[in-house]
Amino acid sequence: MSWGYFTLHKSCLTTDCSIASRSPTENIGRIISELCNALPPVDPQALCFAVHDGKVHNPLGAGSYIFEKVYVPSLVRFMDLPLDESDFTSRKRATTSTAIIHIGAQPNNSPHAGTIIVFALAFLIARDIKKLYEELRKGDISEEFKSWIDDIGIEVRLDLVDTAPDNRSGCFLQGIAYQRSQRHTQAYHSYLPDYEEIMRSAADFVGGDIPYKIFTQENLTTMPSIPRIINAIVKDRKRLGNELAPVSHSLAMRCACPHQGCGLAEKHGRMNKYLVDASGVATISFHCPDHGDHTITTSNPADVGRLEFNTPLRNLVRAEAFGIHTINSREAAHNALAVGEGEKICEYVHMRVTGSDYAGMYSEQLLFRQLPLLSASGLGAIPTPVIAYAPLVLDWAGSKLSKSLYVKEGAYKYLQEAGMGYLLSFADMKESGRDHRILFGEVARWLEDPKKLFRSYTVNYLHRVFEDQRCKDTKDN
Ligand SMILES: [Zn+2]
């Protein structure tokens, strides 16, 4: 028996656009009959139907109320970039600035609609920041400010989490979980072309003049500030372990076993041993079930480059690293200006676009709460991270549409049966002849009316967006 759930609306039930003139309530019997006839064998007794009026509401509240009309300029302000002449003259600390808009992905499957939305939003925000400064430049501003605008860099960076586990390659021994990363098994290479294609396509969609880069976790862990960040985290490991990992109470810091061909890393860091010397340098021992302990020290940058973290710890390390990058680049620019060598120094500011499942308690307690606490334990203050949250894609029950990794096999079968399986995978989207740029266009409409970014969207809503476009294309042809 297959269970399914469908919301009925005249425009999403059929490719026959003539039905658009009928009311669902007038034709409910016919609509259900058509729907059942159009589906693969599904037990009609098991189907759940909901009828709606097709009207979409975007009520204001909280963030949408505040940022309804000034969304992208607010992001620019939060990154501490100038929005007018007085902002510009009061800073004077860098001759050039580059804003890096980060997105991330665990490349363990073909990206689904939610990931495509996040990617699109990053490029669209970059485009709008660029447009904002092009408009500012046309105004009555100083030559110096114009010159700064001419030089500003805005780029998108995809940080691939190649340290995410390859779930086909781990083990569980004596109550301890071990994993091999995608970096070690190289499993993610089979999905990488999908991510590269979406990046290329999103860059083209916004006009082709937003540069982008694709980085891996090694680009993060080899940043000069990382050893200092790891030292501070290790020093504060008891509190951080309790707060970031309330089940294991341990820092989920990992390092792949260096033994030839092994690569196992202990998932939760339960077996890790830490030593901190008088100067604050940390030495960390990791356990391999086959080859025993192996050790790294933060005084060796090559060692630190091999570290891996679980998601909340990585989020914290990354925020600290990008914040310190901003502070250090600003200070270098300021110092260079003071001795007349400002031309070559650029300040770097960072922001992040991510799904709104990371908003709320996750961000507040696991990130924002931790920054001042780490600052007080010797790391120093950093600028508050700037995060734009992309709307979530929800299933019929209001649950986040998940990568199949996290749900039972056979989940979302009803979506496949209803012809909506393409929302689960970019590869399927392409195979079914659906144009993913329809999603880009939808996200662009949300950004034009930013209150639409402060909410979620169901798979049924997005399917309707695709179907509406198909109807328009049919009429145009
Ligand atoms: Zn080993």
Span from the CA of 11 to the centroid of ligand 1 (angstroms): 57
| 85-89, 406-410, 427-431: the lowest-pLDDT one | 406-410
Binned at pLDDT 50, 70 and 90, residue 3 comes out as: very low
Count how many domains the chain has.
1
Record the tokens describing residue 161, joined without a space: 């989490």
Whether 319 is covered by a domain: the verdict is: yes
Q: Is there a domain that residue 444 lies in?
A: no
pLDDT, tens only, 281-299: 999 999 999 999 999 999 9
Q: What is the DSSP string of 27-80?
A: THHHHHHHHHHHSSS--GGGEEEEE----------HHHHHHSS-SHHHHHHHTT
End-to-end CA distance of the chain: 40
- Cα 249 to middle of ligand 1, angstroms: 24
Condensed to tens digits (0 to 9), the pLDDT of residues 260-273 reads 989 999 999 999 99
Task: List pLDDT tens digits, range 96-138.
Answer: 899 999 999 988 888 999 999 999 999 999 999 999 999 999 9
Tokens standing for residue 457: 């969207």
Taking residues 239-257, report their average pLDDT. Answer: 96
- Residue-wise pLDDT for 188-229, tens only, equals 788 999 999 999 999 999 999 999 999 999 999 999 999 999
Is 179:170 a contact under the CB 8 Å cutoff?
Answer: yes
Segments forming the whole domain that contains residue 294: 62-390
In the predicted model, what is the mean pLDDT of the chain?
87
- Centroid of ligand 1 to alpha carbon of 260 (angstroms): 8
Residues 6+ apart with CB under 8 A from 30: none
pLDDT in tens, 80-90: 999 999 999 88
> Please, what is the Cα angle at 450 between 449 and 455, to 5 degrees?
115
Residue 240 Cα, ligand 1 centroid: separation in angstroms?
27
Does residue 94 contact residue 330 with C-beta atoms inside 8 Å? yes
pTM for the structure as a whole: 0.88
Give a yes or no: residue 152 inside a domain. yes
Residue 284 within a domain? yes
d(CA 202, CA 75): 20
Q: Does residue 415 surpass a pLDDT of 80? A: yes
Q: How many CB atoms lie within 10 A of CB 321?
A: 19
Confidence of residue 418 (pLDDT cuts 50, 70, 90): confident
Cα 74 to averaged position of ligand 1 atoms, centre (Å): 49
Closest CA to 64 of 466, 465, 456: 456
433 assigned to some structural domain: no
SS3 172: strand
Three state DSSP letters for 185-217: HCHHHHCHHHHHHHHHHHHHHCCCCCCEEEECH
